[in-house]
């Protein structure tokens, strides 16, 4: 190739070959479309009884009443990395797990009504990593099933824990009490609140 061709490897790799060839032939090339970063919400675990995420973001006043009402400190403020959700209440299992209070003080404290008693209390779903779970590796361990505050959410089959997706609320107690050297339980947030 000659130097006047002005087709570089960089243009080829970046997909600009066609534009370069058109320019050489004198064919006008439309300007490239501007690149837009798509807004993709990061998964976040909301307190029990949360309305759908779009409505939650639109109507939550960030008053922190639910945070103050939580007796175990399980509700925290979403940090800046959550972009549009920053400043809204969330459950952070690294801080504290939701203990599924029977009287749901967080819902009672919510004046804007984004936490509601008529909504499901599901915040996520637990998942057991069998490669790190002591029971799945042959050691006797039933800590997660003994401490689970939701009846029927965690069953022990043949000495091994099994999450019941339909019953599990994603409260995070099982993950918090897991004694494995590498925590064997992850809480997966819901893509949106259940209907």
Q: What is the torsion angle, in degrees rounded to the nearest 10, for the CA atoms of residue 131, residue 134, residue 136 and residue 140?
A: 170
The reported pLDDT for the residue numbered 29 is 61
The pLDDT tens digits of the residues spanning 35-61 come to: 555 555 567 889 999 999 889 999 999
Give the torsion sign (CA, 183, 85, 192, 122): positive
The reported pLDDT for the residue numbered 195 is 47
- Whole-prediction pTM: 0.73
Token pair of 164, please? 């019941």
The reported pLDDT for the residue numbered 185 is 95
The reported pLDDT for the residue numbered 33 is 61
Pick the residue with more confidence: 192 or 132? Answer: 132
Determine contact, residues 129/62, Cβ cutoff 8 Å.
no
Token pair of 92, please? 């952070």
The arithmetic mean of pLDDT across residues 165-194, rounded, is 89
Smallest CA-to-CA distance from 55 within 125, 122, 119, 121 is with 119
Q: Above 80 in pLDDT, residue 75?
A: yes
The reported pLDDT for the residue numbered 71 is 96
Determine contact, residues 129/115, Cβ cutoff 8 Å.
no
Coil, helix or strand at residue 83 = helix
Smallest CA-to-CA distance from 120 within 107, 130, 138, 129 is with 107
The pLDDT tens digits of the residues spanning 5-28 come to: 555 666 555 556 666 666 676 766
Determine contact, residues 51/119, Cβ cutoff 8 Å.
yes
By CB neighbour count within 10 A (0-12 exposed, 13-18 middle, 19+ buried), where does 57 fall? middle
d(CA 148, CA 70) in angstroms, rounded, equals: 18
By CB neighbour count within 10 A (0-12 exposed, 13-18 middle, 19+ buried), where does 20 fall? middle
By CB neighbour count within 10 A (0-12 exposed, 13-18 middle, 19+ buried), where does 100 fall? middle
Token pair of 122, please? 């599901």
Q: Above 50 in pLDDT, residue 191?
A: yes
The pLDDT tens digits of the residues spanning 90-139 come to: 998 778 999 999 999 999 999 999 999 999 999 999 999 999 999 999 99
- For the chain, list the domains and their CATH numbers: 1-28 (no CATH), 53-189 (3.30.70)
- Read off the pLDDT band of 1 (50, 70, 90): very low
The reported pLDDT for the residue numbered 92 is 85
How many residues does the structure list for the chain?
195
Q: Above 50 in pLDDT, residue 4?
A: no
């Amino acid at each position: 190739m000659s130097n006047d061709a002005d087709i570089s490897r960089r243009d080829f790799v970046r997909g600009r070959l066609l534009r370069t060839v058109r320019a050489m032939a004198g064919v006008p090339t439309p300007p490239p479309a501007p690149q837009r970063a798509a807004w993709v919400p990061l998964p976040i675990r909301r307190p029990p009884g949360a309305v759908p995420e779009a409505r939650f973001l639109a109507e939550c006043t960030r008053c922190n009443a639910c945070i103050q009402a939580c007796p175990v400190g399980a509700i925290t403020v979403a940090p800046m990395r959550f972009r549009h959700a920053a400043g809204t209440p969330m459950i952070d299992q690294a801080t504290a797990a939701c203990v599924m209070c029977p009287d749901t003080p967080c819902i009672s404290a919510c004046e804007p009504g984004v936490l509601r008693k008529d909504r499901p209390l599901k915040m996520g779903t637990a998942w057991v990593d069998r490669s790190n779970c002591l029971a799945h590796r042959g050691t006797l361990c039933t800590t997660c099933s003994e401490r689970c505050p939701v009846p029927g959410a965690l069953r022990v089959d043949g000495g091994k824990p099994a999450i019941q997706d339909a019953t599990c609320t994603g409260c995070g107690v099982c993950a918090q009490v897991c004694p494995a050297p590498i925590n064997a339980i992850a809480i997966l947030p819901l893509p949106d609140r259940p209907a």
